[in-house]
Chain A
């Protein structure tokens, strides 16, 4: 590793001194102070604001804390209440699952398809690329507002396009269809994201692989699915994780549209509603947050194993 090479070149103090001491002696007092402060500060910030609060949430989820009186342990009561009598919960779970399914089954493959098409050495690739990618840089809040222009019942563009100005569909107000309207907006943003990731991956595939497959008589489809796609494995995993995390984190769009009510319930919205709202049922809201956390944890671990495995290579 780097540091041993460095210390080998630095004037060796004494051959008999332990390696560890020699390594430390490379640092002056000033060096050690700089390292301690500039690593310590961000680590402290991360532990206090991210990990500490996450662990506190887990603790609070077993209490009836309401922000004022001291918290009492109630065991699994919050969780029990959530899955049995808290009615919006299952609607939110359903919506989060729909979100995941739409991104996973529709938006992600579409992003891959666009990446494959744009990788075909076509003219104006950059133009197409920027157009597909543009929604990704927009704030989800902005996407939510634009969705209202498109879907509005009274003057919305979609009703005009469908020729239903006389008998307009209330895309955002009708709780049986509004989640689909929002999902289309979410997919609009997700496709570009996935496309860029795959496009970068496809560009890094050795062209010789493709040539070899063609020489062996594989057609374009076989080449892609049997040769190219398997080499994209690291990207597939990252796209999978991003898709899941986006689906679980979804918040801004529905919040911008109607604060996540009336058919647009999501787990993230329920957490915020219980904590920030007048209810101030912090213990209860934390329990929903913990459910969200546990669900995403499996994917976080999958992601970490993937990147650490690459690290070793």
Chain B
């Protein structure tokens, strides 16, 4: 548990292991074949619900209502996807999500990286306390904060151009603020550990060159912490994007909801077309799946960076 602090170190181990694995690959034994069969069956079972959603979204309602979801297709079309955009207003909700996620992500990483840098590099009084404050805050059940936050948000006035309700309640600002407060906790903890692995000689050299705190952070530490920041960014993106609760309780205007909370709008009042809902679900899942597949390595190391700190 001592060598794996950084993602880079783990990658090296990874690669070394892959190499040795290739070097002495043994002939395939029956036990191995069984292993592959078991893994493949489990994997197919794992994929099945997602494939079902994609399949259902391509078929008209009348067809699945008649034959059920597990039947051969008669018609396949992307009709529901265009309907989700035209009728369900998915485009608008995607934009809402972007309005919340982008600033929340940038602010979280900025605050967290600076706090982590300051706590790791300087003897700030009470730094252990601050570290606990942030880390533990991230573990509290969000429901405990809901009521007072709700009341607080309805009492803080905001100018009209920022919030049509005139208060933080029902404004993007309120949702962004709680995301930043909540997620900074986790990121501070992860980045603090990461920054402790960056040799102090590097900032010392900058100090000798007369660099102030900001330049040490911006020019020296931040570029070096890029792998950790990348990993956290992918992870935090999916967390903030997937959030359901905060927007649900702090937003009242249906048109301003982010995409995850707005998925419910695809339900009809008297009749729900589940195939349309399936298309909506696939659309909602798509951005996180793309991020996951494109940046899988960062994603996984982000998660293990926090847990398996070595």
What is the interface of chain A, defined by CB distance below 8 A to chain B? Answer: 1-3, 5-6, 9-10, 23, 26-28, 30-31, 34-35, 38-39, 41-43, 45-54, 56-57, 60, 67, 114, 117-118, 120-122, 127-128, 130-135, 137-142, 145-150, 152, 154-157, 159-161, 165, 185, 188, 192-193, 196-197, 200-201, 203-204, 231, 234-235, 238-239, 241-242, 245, 248-249, 251-252, 255-256, 267-268, 271-272, 275-276, 282, 285-286, 289-290, 292-293, 296, 299-300, 303-304, 307-308, 310-311
Contact = CB atoms under 8 A, between A and B. Distances in A.
B133 A196 contact: no
A54 B147 CA distance: 9
B292 A203 contact: no
Given A10-B207, A132-B46, 12 more contacts: A34-B212, A53-B145, A131-B47, A139-B244, A145-B280, A149-B52, A156-B68, A235-B307, A275-B150, A285-B147, A307-B189, A310-B309
A276 B130 CA distance: 32
B122 A231 contact: no
Interface in B54-111: 56, 64-65, 68-71, 111
Contacts of B193: 311
A130 B43 CA distance: 10
B193 to A, nearest CB: 8
B147 A60 contact: yes
Contacts of A42: 111-112, 114-115, 134, 180-181, 184, 188
Nearest to A9: B204
B53 A149 contact: yes
Interface in B276-292: 277-278, 280-281, 284-285, 288-289, 291-292
B123 interface: yes
- The size class of the interface chain B forms with chain A is 35 or more
Contacts of B277: 145, 148-149
Contact of B151 (A6, A67, A268, A303): A67
Contact of A150 (B17, B49, B308, B310): B49
A208 to B, nearest CB: 12
B56 A149 contact: yes
A53 B277 CA distance: 36
Given A137-B291, A196-B300, A49 B177 contact: yes
